[in-house]
Structure 1
Amino acid sequence: MQEQSLIALLEAMLFAAARPVTVKELSAAAELSEANTELALAELKRQVNNSCRGVLLREVAGGLQFFTRSEYSQYIQRLLQPPEKPRLSQAALETLAIIAYRQPITRMEIESVRGVRVDAVLSTLQERGLITEKGRKDSPGRPIIYGTTTTFLKCLGLNSLEDLPHLPSEETNTHKSPE
């Protein structure tokens, strides 16, 4: 195998491993002597560490591993941060409050309280795991009934629905436990 091909092979194996890899492991995988592997690794290390690449090849934990250069850490952190979910809209918060206090509740019952359609809002709340379908109401058309989830309780820092602030009027039904 030509030297540049061998160096490229070792680079690919180290990149794919994403952990420290010993000379012995690399030699066995490449079907090379350890001496030839060490020579090629020395050249790879020289090429990588003495160039304007975004990575370094370091000896760590008895093997070799690629690391990103420290000067790029802030950009890498930004890339790897999970995207922040947008906050809930006012309509979603109002709908969630209605469900929390009046559950189990149907879409039509929510719409009669809010005075507007809530299909999209219900979908958003379900996607976020804040509400779930609890079953079907025993009435004509057997509409879906909704209730809050344990994710809802966690997000609000509540132990149970009984921890919700009490409404000043008789606007609430008996609280049911989520999921």
Structure 2
Amino acid sequence: MSNTDLYIEALIFSSEQSLRVEEIAYCLQAALEQDISIEQINKSIDSIKEKYQDENLAIELIKVNNGYQFLTKKNFHQVISLLQSQRSKKKLSQAALETLAVIAYRQPTTKTDIEQIRGVNCDYSIQKLLEKELIAIVGKSEAVGKPILYGTSSLFMDYFGINSMKDLPHIKELITDESSIGEATE
């Protein structure tokens, strides 16, 4: 493999989307300060493709959307989809975490109660938490309009590695001198 091949391989590998030959040419010409022909880039791409046809490698170079991208080989797709599915269930935004904390400590609770504590609309966070099955609808309140009550699910306990709601940290344990505002008075 030539140095040009290595630069092209690095460019394609580091790109989140498919990389067109023209983009590769622009980057190489700007970085290496020399003219590199489209024909030379295509030869390098063919060389890289050949390198990744090895059965002992899990990725291959594929032409996608008029550009090139490294993708996992098809026989690994089932394993990769499981990982992606698992990771998508684990990622929570700060807003979702805050909403989940309110529900966990105040359950069963209504959307209005959560919004009063957080000070913002919680529709999206509640929807995402329901989709991820970390919370569940546990009934309806007797308050005016009979609003929906939310509580945590059994998946919530798996996600956070706890056996019961008693395992949640007590509020007093979470408050430290560093998290308090102002001076303490006796």
TM-score by length of 2: 0.51
Q: Provide the C-alpha distance between the structure 2 equivalents of 1:144 and 1:71, rounded to a whole number of angstroms.
A: 54
Q: Provide the C-alpha distance between the structure 2 equivalents of 1:93 and 1:160, rounded to a whole number of angstroms.
A: 18
- Residue 155 of structure 1, CA deviation: 0.5
Can you list the C-alpha shifts for 1:128-168, whole angstroms capped at 9, x where unaligned?
00000000001110000000000000000000000000012
Q: Which has the larger radius of gyration?
A: 1
Residue 99 of structure 2 is matched in structure 1 by 95
Residue 79 of structure 1 is matched in structure 2 by 77
The alignment status of 1:137 with 2:122, answered yes or no, reads no
Q: Provide the C-alpha distance between the structure 1 equivalents of 2:155 and 2:91, rounded to a whole number of angstroms.
A: 15
Which secondary structure state, in structure 2, belongs to the residue aligned with residue 168 of structure 1? helix
- After TM superposition, the structure 1 = structure 2 runs for residues 1-179 of structure 1, keeping only pairs within 5 Å, are 70-74=55-59, 75-76=72-73, 79-80=77-78, 81-82=80-81, 83=84, 84-85=87-88, 87-168=91-172
Which secondary structure state, in structure 2, belongs to the residue aligned with residue 88 of structure 1? coil
Larger proportion of helix: 2
Q: Provide the C-alpha distance between the structure 2 equivalents of 1:78 and 1:109, rounded to a whole number of angstroms.
A: 46
Letter in 1 for 2:99: T
Q: Provide the C-alpha distance between the structure 2 equivalents of 1:102 and 1:78, rounded to a whole number of angstroms.
A: 43
Which secondary structure state, in structure 1, belongs to the residue aligned with residue 138 of structure 2? strand
Structure 1 runs (4+) deviating above 4 angstroms are: none
- Residue 79 of structure 1, CA deviation: 2.9
Identify the range of structure 1 (75-84 vs 109-118) with the bigger mean alpha-carbon deviation. 75-84
Q: Provide the C-alpha distance between the structure 1 equivalents of 2:156 and 2:129, rounded to a whole number of angstroms.
A: 10
TM-score by length of 1: 0.53
State the identity %. 42
Which secondary structure state, in structure 2, belongs to the residue aligned with residue 70 of structure 1? coil
Q: Provide the C-alpha distance between the structure 1 equivalents of 2:150 and 2:126, rounded to a whole number of angstroms.
A: 9
Q: Provide the C-alpha distance between the structure 1 equivalents of 2:104 and 2:56, rounded to a whole number of angstroms.
A: 48
- Residue 87 of structure 1, CA deviation: 1.7
* Long gaps (5+) in structure 1: 1-68, 170-179
Q: Give the number of aligned pairs.
A: 104
Which secondary structure state, in structure 2, belongs to the residue aligned with residue 146 of structure 1? strand
Which secondary structure state, in structure 2, belongs to the residue aligned with residue 134 of structure 1? strand
Which secondary structure state, in structure 2, belongs to the residue aligned with residue 147 of structure 1? strand
* Long gaps (5+) in structure 2: 1-53, 60-71, 174-186
